């Protein structure tokens, strides 16, 4: 609405610096006041309007308290209530009715922007399924399944369908839209329609157990052409291993307990408890943004996941020889 | 305003008779069997402050863990137990027991001119049940099996499938026990305020603190059953395999949320209303002016409680309910601002129009007004549906509700601790240390909770045991942690002030501050029977009516309304406060504490799945109840 | 004053209506209105066939009428007790009618907000 | 007592029972609200495979429970006149009717359990929980009656008179709650 994106960012700075000694100079990628879409910026506008109004009201009340302090020595009216009544009815009854009516109308006008997209109004549907503690991402109509990284095309209304495989989670990418809970037995939807390419971080925001804190996700907004290419890649079965080490790694994957929980399409591994690893090598992070997806951190993760994400469902494989684990890493990283 | 005159010889004799009639067993067993509302109130205060210390320690551990990104002071398993226990402790074991059980018990009979609560033994039972629920909960923490699904305990995270240990069973059964305790306490307050008011205390002369307790009690009576039902459903699901919340079998996880918040939001007002009551007690005393717009303030207290029942879905705005469902609750969440606004302006205008003297209790009330306005304003933003859908379950919400239930609900309680300290102990607290402590606590509160607004707006979800450095939430969290320790040091000073003053403070008169309500018309500390003569009142600030109090003294000498022949108090009509009966009151009894012990043990048996033995304890409880009611209060011959 | 003294039953009836009528009418609007949305937008929608807008229009009008009546009763009592007399039971009636005036205004606003909000939004959009 | 000779106000115990009933009413209301809520989220109610409850027996039983409040009211009246024997007699009559009522209800409950279980699905869960809640209240009322048999033979005191009127009030509530529960359960047949 009226406040542009840049304006929003600038105002965040002013508010943060002005109101508190501790300024957050860093990353505001997950900030509510840094909207990248129409619904998110409608919400930010609503926020700034409420913030301004709230500050005026707060100042008024502080003014009354200061007045009381300044006049503390003077005798009062002696208990005559007529003066106070006027202020109390004006400030406590009449003014709130006016202010709240304006706010209520504002709220009703913003609500359609953040609602689920009407059927048929979107060009692409993405299924996101919350798990303890990662996000399963599916593209209906294709074989593509990935985790924690949601790719969508820019300037395209996307119907995001939010479901859960276990407990309640909440899908939240603040710069793109409001959050939406993932509740057993229910199918919730929101719209993602990002005008610009980029990476938009998000995080589970309903307490979902031990690793609620490490359940991050990223929405990667690509140009429509890049997105189509990416989707076609993801829909393909896994790449066959090419080096002996990768071959050994695949063997380990299928014979150690990995395949009980993970799927690699095109192999006998069809486990559903953990993320689909068919194209794990193409992802930027592992363990729901807990670690960067590099061979060394993948090696560490396989060795002892509990060190990085205590409580994670994945067991450690320190019992496997280091060379075996290295082979496994080589195989997984080859799955681009 | 009124000083206690030395009683005439005839009056002295009557007072000695009352002393004998109302004397209770001395020593430790006296505390176990007491039915004196003041002693029960003090036990509530003591127990809830112990729980407060525990809940505060939990908070400090959490803040230490969150001081910087990626720290590992505690792991997620411990952290989740700490955060859950912190919430449960502060709500069910600290604020409510302290403000309603402690302040309410001690003050309501004194303020309405009665000699005790309507049901003294049930009052004792309320306390012991509350203590039992607290002991159960903390036993679970000692076993490292404490509730760990957050204080609102959403299913299916709290279901047997995802939380198979006894953690949630402790939560469920301890809160049922706690709920029974609170329901009994609320019923007691309702009947006490309806029936035991001093003659002449019509509806329009009930002290505003008692109006607040009345509103709170109404809320408790109607809100707690929703929680009880919810807990029963959950326990049936967990222990016997029912399907109330199992989506695969026709149940609905949102049913838990609906029922929880039908209780949970009125609960927020239950927490904050007694604080309003304390504020409306302290402000008139220190401004030497009656509360401005008294009828509207009384009404506003009741309306907050009432409309509070119609806002619960604002905790569920992000669950994907139809927007037409949400809007009912958005409307009510906005309109509830009006009664709050009326009170805020009434407090401010009383300060402006009176002659305020900013002593420690009043300072805490000023702090309370600031926090309540601030937290109220952030509350309005959460009633705006789309904004709530953006920031719910983030630290913004944590900031908001700590401004409200720490800043607004507990500050008056802290002020009240100072204000009624002379009444309870007969000694004065240290005024200058009190004021310094206020500033420390006020600063600590802001430094702790204000930055949380920002970390929430920057996208930090609540209930995370840690956060990665790349999110950039470190500075805000460090500030919060520093603030928490400042806050804690302020609270330690407060405790030190009161503990030392208890033994070394200057002696306090009956009415050191010139208060307007009846508790200031009796000695400090008050005798077991509260008033040597049942006072007759003609205004809402009877202690400022010197003629009436002089008339009381004359009635004492003449033996009218002294009730010196039995363990008795008067009852009056509920609306207009006309005298209608003299009632024999039950004396001390061992059965309430016994019954509470049996109930607590019974629930522990259910938690450990010893169902048959638990059934035996039900039979024992029935027998205890029969024995209890075999002892009847008797009027004087 | 005289009329008040002569008709205590009517006065008492008006007084309690002014205090309880508006809140209870909103309660009915909220509870029934909430259930209409649950019925119309849940899995049983086709079986129950509830129409949210129609129902809530009716509920809102009815609740408004009751609440406005409560406010009028409070206004009548408040006018009738306008003297300086604050003794029982006039003091109490004046006290409660002052409260009733505020109650009426607050709940009429709340009922209007609720009704307008429901009618302004599509029936089961989430 | 001289200042109040001849006057009798409603005792505090009576007011206490009113508040208890308010809380209990809210509890029943929550259970009934849950029943309605769950039914609104079910495609079929009762779910396929479970027969709708039969109407005759629950309706007749509810009326029997309502009828049992008459002797309770008469017992209270006898209590006001200090008629110990009459009061005990009326309570005994009510007790017999209430006990027979509970016996029949438990019989029906066990019969239902043979057809479907609370573990079958959410309908079964709320069905048995709602009926169970009601039956527990009837059982508690019977215990209160037993307490009256224990205490009343020694004559009336103000305390016992209060107890009798409070217990009678409790039974009126249980009868009304029974009607509401029956109506809720039978709503599945409409």
Give the lowest-confidence range in A135-139, A243-247, D46-50: D46-50
- A307-315 average pLDDT score: 93
DSSP, collapsed to helix, strand or coil, labels residue C30 as: helix
User: At B637, is the pLDDT very low, low, confident or very high (cuts 50, 70, 90)?
Assistant: very low
pLDDT at A12: 56
Does the beta-carbon distance from C126 to A115 stay under 8 Å?
A: yes
My answer on whether A223 and A248 are in the same domain is no
pLDDT, average across residues B168-189: 97
Domain assignment present for residue D3? The answer is no
Among candidate residues A234, A261, A288, the one where a domain is terminated = A234
Q: How confident is the model at residue A9 (pLDDT cuts 50, 70, 90)?
A: low
Mean pLDDT (chain B) is 95
Q: Is the pLDDT of residue D126 over 80?
A: yes
Query: What is the structure's pLDDT at D70?
Result: 97
> Which pTM does this prediction carry?
0.94
Within a domain: A290: yes
End-to-end CA distance of chain A: 41
Please check whether residues A254 and A199 belong to one and the same domain.
no
CA separation (Å) from B492 to B49, B56, B90, B332, B405?
12, 11, 17, 39, 20
Average pLDDT value for residue range A227-247: 96
Inter-chain CB proximity C35 and D42 less than 8 Å:
no
User: Above 60 in pLDDT, residue B136?
Assistant: yes
Touching check for D54 and chain B: CB below 8 Å? no
Q: Which of D26, D31, D125 sits opposite B251 (nearest CB)?
A: D125
Q: Is A24 inside any structural domain?
A: no
Taking alpha carbons only, the member of D163, D144, D174, D171 closest to residue D16 is D163
Quick one: A147 and A225 in the same domain? yes
Residue B77 to residue B152: CA distance in whole angstroms: 17
In the predicted model, what is the mean pLDDT of residues B123-144?
Answer: 97
Residue boundaries of the structural domains of chain C:
9-120
Cβ pair B355, A77 in contact under 8 A = no
- Which of B229, B241, B626 minimises the CB distance to D119? B241
Task: Spell out which residues of chain D touch residue B251, defining contact as CB-CB under 8 Å.
Answer: 38, 121-122, 125
Instruction: In whole angstroms, give the CA distance from residue B365 to residue B343.
Output: 13
Q: Is A208 helix (H, G, I), strand (E, B) or coil?
A: coil
Residue A18 included in any domain: no
> What is the Cα–Cα distance from B260 to B302, expressed in whole angstroms?
22
Asked if residue D69 belongs to a domain, the reply is yes
User: How far is Cα of residue B455 from the mean position of the Cα atoms in its chain?
Assistant: 30
Candidates B499, B494, B532, B526; CA nearest to B510 is B526
Position A11 in a domain: no
* Eight-class DSSP state of D54: P
Contacts of C88 in chain B (CB under 8 A): 202, 576
Q: Is D8 on the interface with B (CB under 8 A)?
A: yes
Distance CA C113, CA B371 (A): 28
Which of B449-458, C42-51, C70-79 has the weakest average pLDDT? C42-51
Residue A101's pLDDT band (boundaries 50, 70, 90)? Answer: very high
Q: What is the dihedral of CA C85, C91, C95, C101, to 10 degrees?
A: -60
Q: Does B444 touch chain D (CB under 8 A)?
A: no
Partnered with residue A260 across adjacent β-strands are: none
D129 contacts chain B (CB < 8 A):
yes
A115 at the C interface (CB within 8 A)?
yes
More confident site: A77 or A93: A93
Compare CB distances from D26 to B118, B222, B233 and report the shortest one's residue.
Answer: B222
Q: Which residues of C touch A188 (CB under 8 A)?
A: 126
**ipTM surpassing 0.85, yes or no?**
yes
Contacting residues of B for A75, CB less than 8 Å apart: 355
Q: Is D1 within the bounds of a domain?
A: no
Q: In chain D, which residues have their Cβ closer than 8 Å to the Cβ of B230?
A: 30
* Upper half-sphere CA count for residue C126 (Cβ side, 13 Å): 22
Residue D92 belongs to some domain of the structure: yes
* pLDDT score of B4: 53
Residue in chain A closest to C109 (alpha carbons) equals A97
**B493 pLDDT higher than 60:** yes
Average pLDDT over residues D156-176: 95
Buried b (16+ CB within 10 A) or exposed e, B564-589: bbbbbbbbbbbbbbebbbbbbbbbbb
Query: Is residue A201 scored above 60 in pLDDT?
Result: yes
Residue C44, pLDDT score: 86
* Cβ distance of C117 and A93 shorter than 8 Å: no
Stretch C2-8: mean pLDDT = 53
Express each pLDDT in B568-601 by its tens digit: 999 999 988 999 889 899 989 999 999 999 999 9
Cβ separation of D15 and B246 shorter than 8 Å?
Answer: no
B358-398 confidence digits (pLDDT tens): 999 999 999 999 999 999 999 999 999 999 999 999 999 99
pLDDT tens digit sequence for B286-314 = 999 999 999 999 999 999 999 999 999 99
Beta bridge partners of A151: A220
Q: How do beta strands A198-203 and A134-138 pair?
A: unpaired
Q: What is the mean pLDDT of residues A167-194?
A: 96
Task: Output the CA torsion sign for B26, B30, B35, B37.
Answer: positive
Total domains in chain D come to: 1
A263: which strand partners? A270
Identify the domain boundary among A65, A95, A114.
Answer: A114
Quote the pLDDT of residue A3. Answer: 40
In chain C, the residue whose alpha carbon lies closest to the alpha carbon of A180 is C126
Round the average pLDDT of chain C to a whole number and report it: 87
CB atoms within 10 A of CB B128: 21
Own/partner long-range contacts of D68-77 (Cβ < 8 Å, ≥24 apart): D68/D94, D68/D97, D68/D98, D68/D101, D68/D171, D68/D175, D69/D94, D69/D168, D69/D171, D69/D172, D69/D175, D71/D97, D72/D167, D72/D168, D72/D171, D72/D172, D73/D168, D75/D164, D75/D168, D76/D164, D76/D165, D76/D168
Span B209-238, pLDDT tens digits = 999 999 999 999 999 999 999 999 999 999
Q: How many domains does chain A have?
A: 3
Is residue A226 situated within a structural domain?
A: yes
Q: What share of chain B has pLDDT > 70, as a percent?
A: 98
Distances (CA, A) of D98 to D93, D121, D139, D151: 9, 31, 9, 20
Instruction: Report the DSSP beta bridge partners of residue A216.
Output: A203
Write the CATH number for A221. 2.60.40.420
Angstroms from D50 CA to nearest CA on chain C: 17
Q: What is the pLDDT of residues A279-300, one digit of tens each?
A: 999 999 999 999 999 999 999 9
3-state secondary structure of B73: coil
Tell me whether residues B369 and A81 touch, CB distance under 8 A.
Answer: no
Picking from A111, A119, A121, A159 by the largest number of C CB atoms within 10 A of its own CB, the best residue to mutate is A111
Task: Find chain A residues with C-beta within 8 A of B390's C-beta.
Answer: 32, 40, 43, 47, 174, 178-179
Chain B 321-350, CB below 8 Å of chain C: which residues?
321-325, 327-328, 330-332, 334-335, 338-339, 342
Contacts of A24 in chain B (CB under 8 A): 454-455, 458, 472-473, 475-476
pLDDT for B113 beyond 90? yes
Kind of pairing, strands A158-164 and B568-572?
Answer: unpaired
Q: Are B521 and B549 in contact (CB under 8 A)?
A: yes
> Which uninterrupted H or E stretch holds C28?
helix C8-41
Answer yes or no: is A12 within a domain: no
Cβ proximity of D25 and D177 under 8 Å: yes
Is the pLDDT at A11 greater than 70? The verdict is no
Domain of A224 in residue numbering reads as 124-234
- Do residues A226 and A275 both lie within one domain? no
**What is the structure's pLDDT at A165?**
96
Which chain D residues touch C43 with a CB distance below 8 Å?
40-43
Length of chain C equals 126
Question: Could you read off the pLDDT of A34-90 as tens digits, one per residue?
Answer: 999 999 999 999 999 999 999 999 999 999 999 999 998 888 777 788 889 999 999
Residue D137 domain-assigned (yes or no)? yes
Residue D7 lies in a domain: no
Report the distance separating Cα D85 and Cα D17, nearest Å. Answer: 25
Check residue A80 and give its pLDDT: 84
pLDDT at position B5: 57
Question: Domain of D102: which CATH number?
Answer: 1.20.120.80
Nearest-Cα residue of chain B relative to residue C92: B204
Range of the domain at D162: 12-189
Residues A56 and A89 in one domain: yes
Are residues A224 and A261 located together in one domain of the fold? no
3-state helix, strand, coil in chain D (%, to 5): 80, 0, 20
Residues of D in contact with C35 (CB under 8 A): 36, 40
């Amino acid at each position: 609405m009226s406040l542009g994106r840049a304006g929003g960012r600038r105002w965040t700075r002013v508010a943060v610096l002005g109101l508190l000694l501790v300024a957050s100079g860093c990353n505001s990628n997950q900030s509510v006041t840094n909207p990248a879409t129409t619904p998110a910026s409608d919400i930010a506008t609503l926020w700034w309007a409420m913030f301004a109004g709230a500050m005026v009201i707060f100042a008024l009340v502080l003014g009354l308290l200061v007045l009381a302090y300044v006049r503390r020595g003077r005798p009062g009216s002696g208990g005559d209530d007529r003066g106070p009544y006027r202020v109390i009815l004006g400030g406590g009854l009449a003014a709130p009715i006016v202010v709240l009516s304006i706010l209520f109308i504002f709220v009703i006008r913003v609500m359609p922007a953040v609602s689920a997209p009407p059927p048929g109004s979107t060009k692409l549907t993405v299924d996101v399924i919350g798990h303890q503690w990662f996000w399963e991402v599916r593209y209906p109509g294709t074989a593509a399944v990935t985790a924690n990284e949601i790719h969508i095309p820019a300037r395209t209304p996307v119907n995001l369908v939010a479901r859960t495989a276990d407990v309640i989670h909440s899908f939240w990418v603040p710069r793109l839209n409001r959050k939406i809970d993932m509740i057993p037995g229910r199918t919730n939807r929101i719209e993602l329609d990002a005008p610009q390419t980029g990476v938009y971080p998000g995080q589970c925001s309903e307490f979902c157990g031990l690793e609620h804190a490490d359940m991050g996700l990223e929405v990667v907004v690509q140009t429509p052409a890049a997105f189509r290419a990416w989707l076609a890649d993801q829909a393909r079965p896994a790449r066959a291993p090419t080096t002996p080490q990768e071959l050994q790694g695949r063997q380990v994957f299928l014979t150690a307990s990995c395949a009980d929980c993970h799927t690699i399409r095109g192999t006998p591994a069809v486990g559903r408890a953990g993320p689909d690893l068919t194209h794990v090598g193409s992802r930027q992070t592992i363990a729901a943004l807990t670690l960067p997806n590099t061979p060394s951190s993948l090696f560490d993760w396989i060795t002892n996941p509990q060190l990085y994400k205590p409580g994670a469902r994945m067991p450690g494989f320190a019992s496997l020889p280091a060379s075996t684990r290295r082979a496994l890493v080589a195989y997984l990283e080859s799955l681009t | 305003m009124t000083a206690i005159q030395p009683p005439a010889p005839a009056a002295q004799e009557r007072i000695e008779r009352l002393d004998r009639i109302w004397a209770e067993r001395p020593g430790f067993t006296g505390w176990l069997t007491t039915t004196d509302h003041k002693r029960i109130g003090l036990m509530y205060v003591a127990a809830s402050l112990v729980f407060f210390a525990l809940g505060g320690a939990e908070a400090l551990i959490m803040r230490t863990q969150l001081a910087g990104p990626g720290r590992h002071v505690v792991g997620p398993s411990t952290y989740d137990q700490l955060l859950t226990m912190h919430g449960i402790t502060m709500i069910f074991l600290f604020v409510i027991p302290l403000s309603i059980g402690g302040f309410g018990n001690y003050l309501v009979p004194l303020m309405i001119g009665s000699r005790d609560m309507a049901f003294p033994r049930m009052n004792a039972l309320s306390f012991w049940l509350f203590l039992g629920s607290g002991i159960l909960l903390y036993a679970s923490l000692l076993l490292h099996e404490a509730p760990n699904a957050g204080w609102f305990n959403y299913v299916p995270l709290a279901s047997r499938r995802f939380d198979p240990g006894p953690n949630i069973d402790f939560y469920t059964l301890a809160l049922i026990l706690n709920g029974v305790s609170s329901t009994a306490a609320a019923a007691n307050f309702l009947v006490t305020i309806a029936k035991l008011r001093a003659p002449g205390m019509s509806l329009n002369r009930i002290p505003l603190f008692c109006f607040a307790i009345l509103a709170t009690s109404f809320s408790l009576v109607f809100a707690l059953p929703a929680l009880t039902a919810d807990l029963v459903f959950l326990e049936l699901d967990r222990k016997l395999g029912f399907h109330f919340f199992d989506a695969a079998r026709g149940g609905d996880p949102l049913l838990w949320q609906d029922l929880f918040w039908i209780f949970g939001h009125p609960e927020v007002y239950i927490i904050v209303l007694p604080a309003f009551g304390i504020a409306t007690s302290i402000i008139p005393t220190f401004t030497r002016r009656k509360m401005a717009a008294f009828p509207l303030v009384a009404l506003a207290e009741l309306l907050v409680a009432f409309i509070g029942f119609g806002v619960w879905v604002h905790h569920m705005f992000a669950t994907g309910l139809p927007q037409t469902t949400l809007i009912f609750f958005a409307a009510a969440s906005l309109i509830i601002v009006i009664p709050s606004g009326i009170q805020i302006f009434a407090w401010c205008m009383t300060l402006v129009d009176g002659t305020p003297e900013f002593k420690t209790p009043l300072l805490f009330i000023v702090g309370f007004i600031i926090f309540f306005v601030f937290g109220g304003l952030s509350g309005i933003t959460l009633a705006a549906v789309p904004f709530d859908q953006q920031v719910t379950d983030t630290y913004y919400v944590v900031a908001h509700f700590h401004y409200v239930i720490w800043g607004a609900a507990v500050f008056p309680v802290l002020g009240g601790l100072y204000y009624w300290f002379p009444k309870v102990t007969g000694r004065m607290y240290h005024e200058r240390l009190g004021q310094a402590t206020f500033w420390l606590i006020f600063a600590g509160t802001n430094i702790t909770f204000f930055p949380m607004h920002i970390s929430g707006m920057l996208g930090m979800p609540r209930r995370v045991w840690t956060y990665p450095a790349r999110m950039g939430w470190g500075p805000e969290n460090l500030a919060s942690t520093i603030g928490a320790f400042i806050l804690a040091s302020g609270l330690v000073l407060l405790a030190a002030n009161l503990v030392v003053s208890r033994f070394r403070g200057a002696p306090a008169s009956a009415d050191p501050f010139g208060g307007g309500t009846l508790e200031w018309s009796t000695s400090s500390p008050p005798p077991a029977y509260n008033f040597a003569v049942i006072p007759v009142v003609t205004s809402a600030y009877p202690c400022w009516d010197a003629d009436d109090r002089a008339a009381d003294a004359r009635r004492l000498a003449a033996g009218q309304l002294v009730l010196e022949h039995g363990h008795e108090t008067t009852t009056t009509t509920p609306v207009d406060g006309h005298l209608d009966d003299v009632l024999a009151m039950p004396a001390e009894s061992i059965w309430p504490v016994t019954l509470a012990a049996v109930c607590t043990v019974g629930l522990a048996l259910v938690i450990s799945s010893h169902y048959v033995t638990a059934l035996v304890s039900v039979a024992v409880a029935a027998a205890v109840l029969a024995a209890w009611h075999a002892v009847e209060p008797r009027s004087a011959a | 004053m005289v009329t008040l003294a002569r008709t205590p039953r009517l006065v008492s009836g008006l007084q309690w209506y002014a205090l309880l009528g508006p809140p209870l009418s909103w309660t009915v609007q909220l509870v029934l209105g909430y259930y209409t949305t649950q019925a119309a937008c849940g899995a049983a929608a086709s079986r129950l066939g509830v129409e949210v807008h129609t129902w809530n229009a009716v509920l809102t009008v009815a609740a408004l009428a009751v609440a406005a009546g409560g406010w009028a009763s409070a206004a009548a009592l408040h006018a009738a007790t306008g003297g300086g007399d604050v003794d029982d039971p006039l003091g109490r009636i004046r006290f409660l009618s002052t409260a009733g005036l505020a109650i009426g205004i607050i709940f009429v606003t709340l009922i209007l907000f609720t009704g307008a909000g429901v009618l302004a939004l599509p029936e089961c959009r989430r | 007592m001289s200042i109040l000779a001849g006057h009798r106000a409603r005792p505090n115990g009576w007011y206490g029972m009113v508040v208890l009933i308010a809380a209990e009413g809210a509890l029943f209301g929550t259970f009934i609200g849950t029943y309605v809520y769950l039914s609104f989220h079910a495609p079929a109610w009762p779910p396929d495979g479970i027969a709708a409850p039969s109407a005759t027996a629950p309706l007749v039983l509810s009326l029997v429970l309502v009828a049992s409040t008459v002797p309770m009211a008469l017992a209270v009246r006898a209590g006001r006149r200090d008629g110990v024997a009459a009061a005990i007699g009326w309570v005994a009559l009510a007790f017999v009717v209430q006990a027979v009522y509970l016996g029949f209800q438990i019989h029906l409950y066990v019969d239902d359990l043979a057809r479907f279980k609370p573990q079958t699905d959410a309908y079964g869960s709320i069905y048995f929980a709602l009926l169970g809640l009601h039956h527990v209240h009837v059982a508690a009322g019977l215990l209160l009656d037993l307490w009256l048999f224990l205490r009343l033979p020694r004559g009336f005191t103000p305390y016992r008179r209060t107890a009798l009127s409070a217990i009678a009030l409790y039974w009126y509530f249980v009868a009304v709650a029974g009607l509401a529960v029956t109506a809720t359960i039978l709503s599945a047949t409409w």
